[in-house]
């Protein structure tokens, strides 16, 4: 991919709608070999873009899903103790000397080590997803791993990546990620898309939806995002909702339809409650008026 336009076109072929600003950081991350740090609300396409980039480049996607308590051993490698025990017992029973217990046969590769292995297709895409769920010690560890792309296994020696992986980190910003880690990366805030772009995304992901239904769904979800909600709906919810409506053969929104299908859009009872009674109708009327105004 030789230009920002190339990035946009290639991602569009994967049904990923990428704005100019995001395409620019993706282009630069690939060109400069820098990790890309994507922060933003839930369901705005952060994970999906890593998949789309890997598919576009024909690279393997390796995903390290972060969670509270994730430590270096679960991220890099572990020894298969059970298999080692079996090998020892089998050797003892047969009166033989046990095999080398610290060889590839007993090594369980976790995503970071996997991402450093040579790959004929080229360096893989390493997605470090939802980094904000881990803790600071793990971040410090990652910082080191991302700076030299090598892993030392005391029993085996140092393994280094022949070509550094393409690294994409994501965060929902439930906490701030440390500056030192961010400094290594190119940063982009993934916001909710504007109306036209969200229509484009819906056209790519739910092409069966009519233009009229798409416009209503997107406008309504966009309107919901301006409400005081516990959890605002992401693009994922827009797509889900449209698919639910299609499955129900709905051609246009109505207060009843909204009430019946709101669970596709809002995932907290408190939020759903806010749209009870005449509230859904009020919002829908507003949305319709805006749509009529914009032609």
Kind and range of the H or E element at 204?
A: helix 195-205
Task: Report in angstroms how near the CB of residue 116 gets to ligand ATP at its nearest.
Answer: 24
Q: Which residue is nearest to ligand ATP (CB)?
A: 45
Inter-axis angle of helices 46-57 and 20-32, nearest 10: 50
Q: Binding of ligand ATP at residue 240 (CB under 6 A)? A: no
**Parallel, antiparallel, or unpaired for β 107-109 and 125-129?**
unpaired
Three-class SS of 72-115: HHHHCEEECHHHHHHHHHHHHHCCCCCCCCCCHHHEEECHHHHC
Tokens linked to 75 = 């991220």
Cα 96 from Cα 188, distance rounded (Å): 58
Q: Binding of Mg ion at residue 47 (CB under 5 A)? A: yes
Q: Would you give the binding string for ligand ATP spanning residues 193-232, x where CB under 6 A is met?
A: --------x--xx---------------------------
Is the Cβ of residue 11 or residue 219 nearer to ligand ATP in the bound state?
11
Task: Report in angstroms how near the CB of residue 210 gets to ligand ATP at its nearest.
Answer: 19
Cα 126 from Cα 60, distance rounded (Å): 8
Coil, strand or helix at 207? coil
16 contacts which partner out of Mg ion, ligand ATP, none, CB within 5 to 8 A by kind? ligand ATP
Interface positions, 250-279, toward ligand ATP (CB under 6 A): none
Beta bridge partners of 212: none
Stretch that binds ligand ATP, among 38-46, 261-269, 274-282, 285-293 (CB under 6 A): 38-46
Is the Cβ of residue 194 or residue 289 nearer to ligand ATP in the bound state?
194
Cα 179 from Cα 132, distance rounded (Å): 13
Is the Cβ of residue 44 or residue 214 nearer to ligand ATP in the bound state?
44
Other beta carbons within 10 Å of 150? 13
Tokens linked to 266 = 């809002």
Task: Report in angstroms how near the CB of residue 239 gets to ligand ATP at its nearest.
Answer: 6
Is the Cβ of residue 47 or residue 214 nearer to Mg ion in the bound state?
47
> Residue 99 — φ and ψ, nearest 5°?
-70, 175
The single residue among 28, 186, 236, 257 that binds ligand ATP, judged by CB under 6 A, is 236
Q: Binding of ligand ATP at residue 64 (CB under 6 A)? A: no
Is the Cβ of residue 116 or residue 201 nearer to ligand ATP in the bound state?
201
Look at residues 152, 144, 123 and name the one whose alpha carbon lies nearest to residue 62: 123
Q: Which residue is nearest to Mg ion (CB)?
A: 47
Angle at 176 between CA 172 and CA 180, to 5 degrees: 120
Q: Which residues bind ligand ATP (CB under 6 A)?
A: 15-17, 42-48, 170, 172, 201, 204-205, 235-236, 239
């Amino acid at each position: 991919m030789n230009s920002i336009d190339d990035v946009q076109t290639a991602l569009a072929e994967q049904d990923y709608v990428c704005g100019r600003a995001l395409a620019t950081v993706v282009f630069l991350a690939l060109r400069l070999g820098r990790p890309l740090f994507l922060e933003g609300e839930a369901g705005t396409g952060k994970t999906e873009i890593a998949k789309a980039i890997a598919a576009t480049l024909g690279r393997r996607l390796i995903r390290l899903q972060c969670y509270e308590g994730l430590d270096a051993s679960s991220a890099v490698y572990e020894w298969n103790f059970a298999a080692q025990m079996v090998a020892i017992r089998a050797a003892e029973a047969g009166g033989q000397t046990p095999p080398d217990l610290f060889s590839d046969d007993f090594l369980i590769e976790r995503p970071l080590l996997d991402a450093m292995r040579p790959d004929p297709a080229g360096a893989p895409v390493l997605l470090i997803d939802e980094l904000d769920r881990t803790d600071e010690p793990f971040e410090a560890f990652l910082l080191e791993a991302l700076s030299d792309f090598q892993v030392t296994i005391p029993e085996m020696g140092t393994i280094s990546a022949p070509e550094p992986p393409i690294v994409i980190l994501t965060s929902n910003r439930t906490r701030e990620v440390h500056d030192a880690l961010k400094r290594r990366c190119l940063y982009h805030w993934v916001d909710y898309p504007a109306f036209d772009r969200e229509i484009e995304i819906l056209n790519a992901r739910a092409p069966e939806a009519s233009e009229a239904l798409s416009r209503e769904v997107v406008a309504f979800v966009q309107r919901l995002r301006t409400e005081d909600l516990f959890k605002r709906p992401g693009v994922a919810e827009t797509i889900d909702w449209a698919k639910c409506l299609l499955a129900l053969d709905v051609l246009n929104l109505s207060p009843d339809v909204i009430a019946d299908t709101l669970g596709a859009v809002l995932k907290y009872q408190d939020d759903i409650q806010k749209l009870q009674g005449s509230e859904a109708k009020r919002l829908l009327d507003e949305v319709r008026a805006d749509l009529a105004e914009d032609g």
